[in-house]
Amino acid sequence: MLLNKDRLHARMAELQLDAVIATTPENVTYTSGFWALPQWIRRGPQAYVVWPAPGKGEAEIVTSTATLDLVADQQIWVERVRRYGAFHVDGNPDAKDPVSQRLIELQEAHDHGDALSALVAGITDAGLSRARIGIDEIGLMPGQLEALRERLPGASLVPAAGLFRNARAVKTPEEIARLARVAEIAERSIKAALGVAREGVSEVELARAFHAQTVQDDAFPVLGCIGFGERSALMNVQPSDRRLRQGNVIRFDVGGRYRHYRADIARIATFGEPSEEVRRYHRALLAGVERACELIRPGARVADVFEAAVETVRREGIGHYRRNHVGHGIGIDGYDAPSLTATSDEIIEAGMVLCVETPYYELGRWGLQVEDMVVVRADGVERLMATSGDLIVVAP
Amino acid sequence: MLLNKDRLHARMAELQLDAVIATTPENVTYTSGFWALPQWIRRGPQAYVVWPAPGKGEAEIVTSTATLDLVADQQIWVERVRRYGAFHVDGNPDAKDPVSQRLIELQEAHDHGDALSALVAGITDAGLSRARIGIDEIGLMPGQLEALRERLPGASLVPAAGLFRNARAVKTPEEIARLARVAEIAERSIKAALGVAREGVSEVELARAFHAQTVQDDAFPVLGCIGFGERSALMNVQPSDRRLRQGNVIRFDVGGRYRHYRADIARIATFGEPSEEVRRYHRALLAGVERACELIRPGARVADVFEAAVETVRREGIGHYRRNHVGHGIGIDGYDAPSLTATSDEIIEAGMVLCVETPYYELGRWGLQVEDMVVVRADGVERLMATSGDLIVVAP
C-alpha cells in the first residue's frame, strides 16, 4: 500500500479529525491507489477519497463515471466507489473478464450528477455531516470549499493539505520500492544520454537518448534539465541546439515518473578532461552531499544537516557557497516534506526518502550539482543510487 | 505568437476589463511565451502575467527568482519581468552569452519577497489598483484571491478563466503549426507501435514503441491509452501485460505534448482480419466523424454538428449509439473550447482546432474510435492528419 495509514491516523488524531478528504491527484492516488487520469493531465476534473478515522466508517472513492474503468482495472484498496456524471459505455452481460464485470457493476450505482453533490452525499451517508473533517484544499476548484460549507452547515471543514504532506513524508515499503526503481531509471537514462556524447552533438540529441531510455523502462519523462558548457549554469536549463565541445561541463538535473513516483537526481560529466577548478568545485559539492548523508538519521535536525552541508562545501573549495536548501523529500510529488533548509524546525525520521543536493551555478561558465536520492533507515541513510556522485569524464 | 491578442482584447472590451491576469501554467505560457517549469510539473509554484487592455500600460511577467533563467532563455514577447524570492546564482560579469547577460540583468531587479506581494506591486505600479481586472482564478492557491482583494481594496477582481478559455479557442498560425506537428507525431507514434505488433506482444511493449517515437520527435508523452481485445473497450485503458492475439482490436487514444501543445487522436487496428461486425461498426463511427467534418465551418452550430454525427453513426450501423460529446477544442490544454455537445449554444469559428471523435465502447468485446484533429478554415475543415481514419489491418 502507498498510504502510510498509521501516520495518517496519528495526524488525524492530533488534529481531532473524524475524517480527511483527498482532492489533489497525488493525494487521491496516495490514499486509495486510484490514479484518475483526467485530473493528472489537466486542472478541473475532480476525484476525491473520503477517509474516515479508524472506527468512523469505510473509506470511499468519489469519481466521474468516465473514469470508472480505471477503478475497475487498478490495484485499489478502497472498495466503496461513488460516481457522478453521464458516460456511455455499452455493457455486455456476457463479459467474462473481471475488469469488465467490475466496471458494469460500478456503472450500476446511482449517478450523483456532479462532483460536489457526490461528495456531499458521500459525507452525509457516512454519518459525517456534523463531523470535523480535514479537506485537502489544493485540489478543489475555486468556490468549491465555500459551496461545501454551505451544503454541510453542520460539518467543520478545515484545510488539510499540510496534514497529507506530513503523512506522505514517511514512506511505506511499496513507495520506497517505486522510488528506488525510478531513481535507477534516471541513472540508466543518464548513462544512455552520455552514450551519444560526441563532438558536435546537441543538448536536444542527448535529451532524446535520455528520454528514450526512460520510456523504455516504462517511466514518463518529467524533469529533463540537460545543459552544456555555459548553459549548464542555467538552473532549469531546457535542451537546445547548443553543441557539445571539448572541455564542456554537461549537467543533468533529471528524473521521470514511474508508477506515479518521481525521481530527481543530478550528475555532472565533462567532455574531455575538466579544468582543475571544475574538479575542485565538484569535489567540494560532493563532499557537501556526503557530509549531509553522514548526519541524516532518525532524530537529526534538518537545520543541522543544512548547515553542515553548506559549511563543508565552503571549507572544501567554494568559500562563497550559498544555498536556500540542500534537498527535499520526494515521493508521489517531486517536492515532498521535509525541505532541507537553515530555518526548518523539522526532524529527520526513519522512512523518509530525500533528495540531497548541493547545486552551484556560475553564469557564463558552468553549473555543477550532485543530487542523490536516499532513504532514511534506523542507522543512517541507504542510498537509492547505483552510481556514485563522482565527476564523470567522457573521452572525446 | 501563441496569444490571439485581438480576440483577447475584444473579450476584455466586452467585459469592460482594464487588465487580465494569467495564473495557470497554460495561460501564463499562452499570454507571454514564458513556460515556467515548476508550475507545469506540480501545484503550488506561482507565475503570473499581467496583461493590460490596449493603451492601459505594458504587460508584465511575475515569477520566482528561481525561474528567471527560463525567462532569459525562451522566446518571450513580454519584456517587463518582476521577480520574487531568493535563489543563489553566481553572476560572472564576464559572461558573454546573451542568455547569461539577460539573466544577470533580471536578477538585479528588486526582490518582492513572495508571489502575491510581487503581483500586488505589479498591479499597483501599472496604475491598476482601482481598475476592473479579470483574474484567471484557477491557478491561484486557496485564499490567494481573498488576500488579493484585501490588499487591493480599490480594485474589482472578477474571475476570468472562462475569458482565457474563450480567447484560446481561436488559434494563431504559430499554434496551428505546433498542433499540426504534434498530431503528426502522434500518427508516427501509432505507426511505430504497430510496427512491433505480433502474436504475444503486450500492451506495455506496444506502448514503449509508441512513446519511443514520441520522444524521438521531441514531444513528451501525455495520453497513452492502448488496449487489446476486451481491454480496448476500457475508455481510459492503461497498457498492461495483456498479450495480443489473432483477431484482437487494438485501440489507440493517444497524443503527446510538443512545444507545450497537445495532440489527442484515435485510431483502430485489428491484428488479423476483423469480424464483419467490427468492420461495420467502425465504418459507422468513421462516417460520423466525416459527417461532422462536412458540417464544421464558420457559423455552424456546435449542437447541429453533434446531432448530425450521432445520427450518422446510428443510421450507418450502430442504432443504439449514444454520446455526450463528439469532440472538443485542443491547444495548449487538451480540452479547449468548444465542447461538441447536444446542448451547446456555441458557434464554430475559423481558426478553431478541434478533435472530432465518435468512440464506442462495448464491454467484454472491444472499443472502437475515430478521432481526428482538424482546423476550421473559411470554407470548412482542413485535416491536420496525414493518415485516414480507416480501419488498419495488421497482418499476423
Q: Is B363 on the interface with A (CB under 8 A)?
A: yes
Looking at residue B323, its pLDDT comes to 96
pLDDT band at B273 (very low <50, low <70, confident <90, very high): very high
**What ipTM was predicted for this assembly?**
0.96
Bridge partners of A267, per DSSP, are A252
Looking at residue B94, its pLDDT comes to 80
Strand, helix or coil at A87?
A: coil
The DSSP secondary-structure symbol of B352 reads B
Is the predicted pLDDT of residue B221 greater than 80, yes or no? Answer: yes
Looking at residue A94, its pLDDT comes to 80
List, as ranges, residues 220-239 from A with C-beta within 8 Å of B.
220-223, 230-231, 233-238
* Minimal-distance CA residue of chain A relative to B89: A361
Domain range summary for chain B, segments of one domain joined by +? 5-168, 173-394
Q: What is the pLDDT of residues A350-380, one digit of tens each?
A: 999 999 999 999 999 999 999 999 999 999 9
* Minimal-distance CA residue of chain A relative to B35: A238
Taking every pair of C-alpha atoms in chain A, what is the biggest distance, in angstroms? 73
Q: Are A79 and A50 in contact (CB under 8 A)?
A: no
Q: What is the pLDDT of residues A280-319, one digit of tens each?
A: 999 999 999 999 999 999 999 999 999 999 999 999 999 9
- Average pLDDT for residues A270-285, to the nearest whole number? 98
pLDDT band at A197 (very low <50, low <70, confident <90, very high): very high
The DSSP secondary-structure symbol of A141 reads P
pLDDT band at B96 (very low <50, low <70, confident <90, very high): confident
Choose the closest CB to A95 out of B97, B323, B364.
B364
Strand, helix or coil at A273?
A: coil
Looking at residue B382, its pLDDT comes to 98
The neighbour count for residue B232, using CB atoms within 10 Å, is: 29
- Average pLDDT for residues B331-352, to the nearest whole number? 97
Work out the mean pLDDT of chain A and round it to a whole number: 97
CATH architecture of the domain formed by A5-168:
3-Layer(aba) Sandwich (3.40)
Contacts of A144 in chain B (CB under 8 A): none
Helix (H) or strand (E) holding A276: helix A276-295
Q: What is the pLDDT of residues A108-153, one digit of tens each?
A: 999 999 999 999 999 999 999 999 999 999 999 999 999 999 999 9
Indicate the fold that domain B173-394 takes in CATH: Creatine Amidinohydrolase (3.90.230)
Looking at residue B193, its pLDDT comes to 98
Strand pairing class (B156-159; B132-135):
parallel
Is the predicted pLDDT of residue B264 greater than 90, yes or no? Answer: yes
* Minimal-distance CA residue of chain A relative to B85: A324
The cell for A246 is: 571539448
Cβ–Cβ below 8 Å for A103 and B237: no
pLDDT band at A165 (very low <50, low <70, confident <90, very high): very high
Cα(B330)–Cα(B26) distance, integer angstroms: 12
Is the predicted pLDDT of residue B260 greater than 90, yes or no? Answer: yes
- Average pLDDT for residues B92-103, to the nearest whole number? 89
Is the predicted pLDDT of residue A91 greater than 90, yes or no? Answer: no
- Residue B329: alpha-carbon gap to chain centroid: 8
Is the predicted pLDDT of residue B93 greater than 80, yes or no? Answer: no
Looking at residue A250, its pLDDT comes to 98
pLDDT band at A96 (very low <50, low <70, confident <90, very high): confident
Q: What is the pLDDT of residues B149-191, one digit of tens each?
A: 999 999 999 999 999 999 999 999 999 999 999 999 999 999 9
The neighbour count for residue A73, using CB atoms within 10 Å, is: 21
In chain B, DSSP finds a helix count (H) and a strand count (E) of 12, 18
Q: Mutation target for B interface from A363, A366, A368, A369: give the one with most B CBs within 10 A.
A: A363
List, as ranges, residues 52-111 from B with C-beta within 8 Å of A.
66-67, 69-70, 72-74, 86-92, 94-97, 99-100, 103-104
Report residue B157: phi and psi, to 5°.
Answer: -105, 115
- Average pLDDT for residues B379-394, to the nearest whole number? 97
Q: What's chain A's length in residues? A: 396
Contacts of A100 in chain B (CB under 8 A): 230, 233, 363-364
Looking at residue B281, its pLDDT comes to 98
Cα(B351)–Cα(B329) distance, integer angstroms: 11
Contacts of B240 in chain A (CB under 8 A): 73
Is the predicted pLDDT of residue A385 greater than 90, yes or no? Answer: yes
Cβ–Cβ below 8 Å for A145 and B142: yes
The label of the residue with cell 538519521 reads A297
Looking at residue B92, its pLDDT comes to 78
Nearest Cα to Cα of residue A91 among B227, B233, B268: B233
Contacts of B90 in chain A (CB under 8 A): 320, 360-363
Percent of chain A scoring above 90 in pLDDT: 98
Q: Is B299 on the interface with A (CB under 8 A)?
A: no
Cα(B267)–Cα(B357) distance, integer angstroms: 10
Is the predicted pLDDT of residue B33 greater than 80, yes or no? Answer: yes
Work out the mean pLDDT of chain B and round it to a whole number: 97
pLDDT band at B91 (very low <50, low <70, confident <90, very high): confident
Cα(A277)–Cα(B92) distance, integer angstroms: 15
Report residue B142: phi and psi, to 5°.
Answer: -55, 135
The cell for B58 is: 505594458
Q: Is A365 on the interface with B (CB under 8 A)?
A: yes
The neighbour count for residue B181, using CB atoms within 10 Å, is: 18
The neighbour count for residue B298, using CB atoms within 10 Å, is: 15
Is the predicted pLDDT of residue A93 greater than 90, yes or no? Answer: no
The DSSP secondary-structure symbol of B301 reads B
Looking at residue B147, its pLDDT comes to 96
Choose the closest CB to B215 out of A37, A97, A221.
A221
Is the predicted pLDDT of residue A51 greater than 90, yes or no? Answer: yes
Cα(B30)–Cα(B24) distance, integer angstroms: 10
Q: What is the pLDDT of residues B54-80, one digit of tens each?
A: 999 999 999 999 999 999 999 999 999
The dihedral over CA atoms of A262, A267, A269, A274, expressed in degrees to the nearest 10, equals 160
